[in-house]
Structure 1
């Protein structure tokens, strides 16, 4: 009998009040620009891109993420304005801080050495932290119109990143599978 594998990824998820406001922006893109795929997950900053993992070994993965999270301290995140990966993706820009760059690099290194999870594009592409609001289902025409509307729009949120979040794909959307608090934080 073969092992069943699920798609998972590891992210930083903002607090609920910011999630709600970002989700409103995603809903606007779905309504006005017919781009709804970004609504398939909670607003997040991807640290470890999607990978396949055997569901039977989920506990091993979660133990490793718990260990990794306990090596981290909470740090501030700033979301500032909009940016894009033309011709399809519009996102909220995440300010690249040394702490954010370090946690992403440490997590990628840790999951590779501990679990054998490798994401080849991450080895050649620099980390570009972002919160997607319009995804690859945005047509090129709608991208141009939406980018004209959003490129100068201001947006500013700050929050403390205090945990890693593991998301799992259920076949239709991404669900939060588990959360791993950083050192000094309790899970409620």
Structure 2
């Protein structure tokens, strides 16, 4: 997604605690070393709430306020991670492997409320795809011919964790990778 000089690329996410970030990063490193899928390493482990969007540099100055408004309408809530899954059942779409996230009403509400605030305050258009919370391990750079081996590896790993979401996190693309630039504490 090319970004003009007077704009920047952002997204809003939920980040797990440090231990889970380390564990999921290790999964990403396995995907990179054993299956040549490195793209997922360009961002910290996260659950996307608002997918990447462009804003002018002027509009971006209001992002902390917008994040705080959305966060103030939400209370901390638990998130469960349960095993691995992948997108698509056809060979043409099998390129993204992820840690699966149990989607419950609290997570749906978080996504819905945040999307509404971003649309109302910044005219960030809601994603037209259904919300499918996940933490990417191997991305679209996973070659189709390698997918079967990668999926055989990850699908057999047991992985169940839970963490409490306490903040919405804003990330900005620096031209190379995604960086955390702001956290808005939930409830306040």
- TM-score, scaled to structure 1: 0.92
The aligned counterpart of 1:59 is 61
Q: By how many angstroms is 1:56 displaced? A: 2.6
2:19 corresponds to: 17
Q: How does 1:137-152 map to 2 (within 5 A)?
A: 137-152=141-156
Contact 1:3 1:56 in 2 (8 A): no
**Equivalent residue number for residue 39 of structure 2:** 37
RMSD over aligned CA atoms reads 1.3
1:116 maps to 2:89: no
Q: Is the contact made by 1:81 and 1:155 (CA closer than 8 Å) also made in structure 2?
A: yes
2:181 corresponding residue in structure 1? 177
**Runs of 5+ unmatched residues, structure 1:** none
Moved more, 11-20 or 53-62: 53-62
1:142-184 Cα deviation digits (max 9, x unpaired)? 1111111222322011000000000000000000011000115
List runs of 5+ in structure 2 lacking aligned partners: 88-92
Q: How far apart are the structure 1 equivalents of 2:47 and 2:130? A: 15
> What TM-score do you get using the length of structure 2 for normalisation?
0.92
The yes-or-no answer on 1:8 pairing with 2:10 is yes
- Dislocated runs of 4+, deviation >3 Å: none
Q: Distance in 1 between matches of 2:181 and 2:64?
A: 10
Q: Counterpart of 1:156? A: 160
**Alpha-carbon distance change, 68 to 143 in structure 1, aligned in 2, over 3 angstroms:** same
Equivalences, count: 180
How big is the shift at 1:24?
0.5
Report the CA distance between 1:3 and its aligned residue: 6.7
